[in-house]
Amino acid sequence: MVSGKKDFAQIQKSLSVFPFSLVLRGASFLYSIVIKARMGGYRLGVITQRQLPGFVVSVGNIAVGGTGKTPMVLLLAQWARAKGYNACVLSRGYGGNFRGKVLEVSDGDQIKVSWKECGDEPYLVAKRASGVPVVVSKKRYLGGIYAAKKFGSNFFILDDGFQHLALKRNLDIVLLDASKPFGNGRLLPWGLLREPKESIGRAHALVLTRFSNNQTCKKAEEEIARKFPQKPLFMSIHRPHKLIFPTSQTIFEPSYISRKKVAAFAGIGNPSSFENTLASLGARLLQFNHFPDHHLYLGDELKALTKEAKALGAEMLLTTEKDWIRVGSDFKAEIPLGYLVIVIEIKREKLFFDLIERFIHRAYGI
């Protein structure tokens, strides 16, 4: 059973029929003019870019919906710290209510603000990226200068930075969902693309996320390799890492849910990916509720979810780690409520990090 509110992709799909498609097509045309003018302004130098005092790597995508940017940001942060760089994550803070210039989310040791101030994604990165400061600013340059002065940061990771052309970067990594890398191939709002797919030409490396050996993923790999033969292409998987039940403070291997009666919910960019993950772990999924990305859960809503799950005979109610941040530890469910921690694993990982090191050496002339 699947219920809950529709996510953006579902709404967009339902509207893409006549006569709504005519309106969406017209809006997409206007959007394309604005996007191309903006990109042209940066390309011609009419709009200036600013530069931070260090190495800048951007993690982004060209389509709305979850491609796994947060796990990739965490992987890069952990790698950079292990290599001895003073890494820092710079985020726009989408969904947060902070309206100032710069917000220090974490100094690498202690989280300084609530998720409502900074947004759920920066908060999750701050929670997981031990030893790496997280700074929010709509103008990523200001956030980077703050981090450089306060923390001595010299390795800046731009979370969702591909479209943030105001800041120069040394390395652009673009993530594409292996099951639908370009959505329906159309620009917003008629499609899911934030900019034309030809914009991938700006990227230095491409990563197909949630890759598996099925025909859909293999076809996507072949298409991208054919259209962008000069771009290094990597494949990655999202691997379930552990299952946490915060109230009882218990941690299990993901396989714990095999053959268990499970109800679940998610309000992320690609909720179906979480649903598929639970199914792949062998869970007996009784109910799955979809919610919009960054959805703010209300008390009555959460009570209804647990009541429904209990009535169906579910042994537990599960969600994502990002959703758990928005649920909070104050909510007491009638049945065990847990979240699944996901990590990203890159195939040919050594080649991937060798590529990053080459760009670092190129940036510093060594």
DSSP 68: S
- pLDDT for the residue 23: 84
Fold agreement between 55-237+346-364 and 239-344:
yes
* All residues at 6 or more sequence positions from 350 whose CB lies less than 8 Å from its CB, including other chains: none
Q: What is the CATH number of domain 55-237+346-364?
A: 3.40.50.300
Domain boundaries of the chain, sorted by first residue: 55-237+346-364, 239-344
Alpha carbon distance 232, 337 (integer Å): 41
Hey, CA dihedral for 67, 68, 69, 75, is it positive or negative? negative
Give the burial class of 111: count Cβ atoms within 10 A of its Cβ; 0-12 exposed, 13-18 middle, 19 or more buried: middle
Residue in this structure with the two tokens 């797919």, named with its chain if needed = 197
Hey, CA dihedral for 103, 331, 339, 216, is it positive or negative? negative
pLDDT along the chain (366 residues), means of 10: 50 57 88 94 94 98 92 98 98 97 99 98 98 98 99 98 98 96 90 94 97 94 95 98 97 98 96 96 98 94 96 98 94 94 98 98 83
The continuous run of DSSP H or E covering 250 comes out as strand 250-252
- pLDDT for the residue 24: 86
Give the burial class of 226: count Cβ atoms within 10 A of its Cβ; 0-12 exposed, 13-18 middle, 19 or more buried: exposed
Cα–Cα distances in Å, from 282 out to 33, 136, 209, 262? 47, 38, 22, 10
Cβ–Cβ under 8 Å, residues 158 and 164: yes
Structure tokens at 211: 């890759």
* All residues at 6 or more sequence positions from 73 whose CB lies less than 8 Å from its CB, including other chains: 59, 89, 125, 129, 157, 159
Q: What is the CATH number of domain 239-344?
A: 3.40.50
Cβ–Cβ under 8 Å, residues 52 and 171: no
Global confidence as pTM: 0.93
- pLDDT for the residue 79: 98
- pLDDT for the residue 1: 44
- pLDDT for the residue 66: 85
- pLDDT for the residue 9: 54
* All residues at 6 or more sequence positions from 175 whose CB lies less than 8 Å from its CB, including other chains: 59, 60, 61, 67, 68, 69, 72, 206, 207, 209
